[in-house]
Amino acid sequence: MQGARGAAPAGHEQVVFCQDPPSGLRAIIAIYSTALGPGLGGTRFYPYPSEDAALADVLNLSRAMAYKNALASLDLGGGKAVIIGDPARLKSEALLRAYGRFVESLGGRYITACDIGTYSEDMDIVARECRYVTGRTVPNGGAGDSSVLTAFGVFQGMRAAAEHAWGSTSLDGRVVGIEG
């Protein structure tokens, strides 16, 4: 298990490049801010075209998580992680456990969760090596699939936008676009 910790890009507190050759893990963990509490953000498992593309994404996402958590009045900062590779080919228990050891090594400065390419069952595996995990399955003490709550939040945001734009929260007969 090798982790490189260098100078963080402007605005970020910490960026960790993670490698575990036996499992094939290549990941980046970015902590934007812990001013309000530990950095919370999901783990994206995605086949980035390059490490530079993965770094750009994790830096943007970790910053966005800091603002998202602050706007929700949570006592949490912003962080995010990306695992570089195709989850359909590379995801394994060994890789997820190696990733969990990297998250654990941060001592609670970063709390991980599900994102694109990772699921509650994956977080159960990460949690075998790490205490700083949310989004686990219900049988393992978690809340389960967070996508339902995410979808509800998007719907509520659409209703608020409709009220602002048209004076009513009703979306009947409206055409809306969602990005992201």
pLDDT tens, 69-89? 999 899 999 999 999 999 999
Task: Enumerate residues 6+ apart whose C-beta is below 8 A from 86.
Answer: 47
Task: Enumerate residues 6+ apart whose C-beta is below 8 A from 57.
Answer: 44, 46, 48, 82
Distance from C-alpha of 122 to C-alpha of 135, rounded to nearest angstrom = 9
Q: What is the pTM of this model?
A: 0.85
80 among known catalytic residues: yes
Which one from 26, 44, 80, 136 is the annotated catalytic residue? 80
- Residue 143: CB atoms within 10 Å: 13
For the chain, which domains are there? 2-144 (3.40.50.10860), 146-180 (no CATH)
- What integer pLDDT is reported at residue 146 of this predicted model? 79
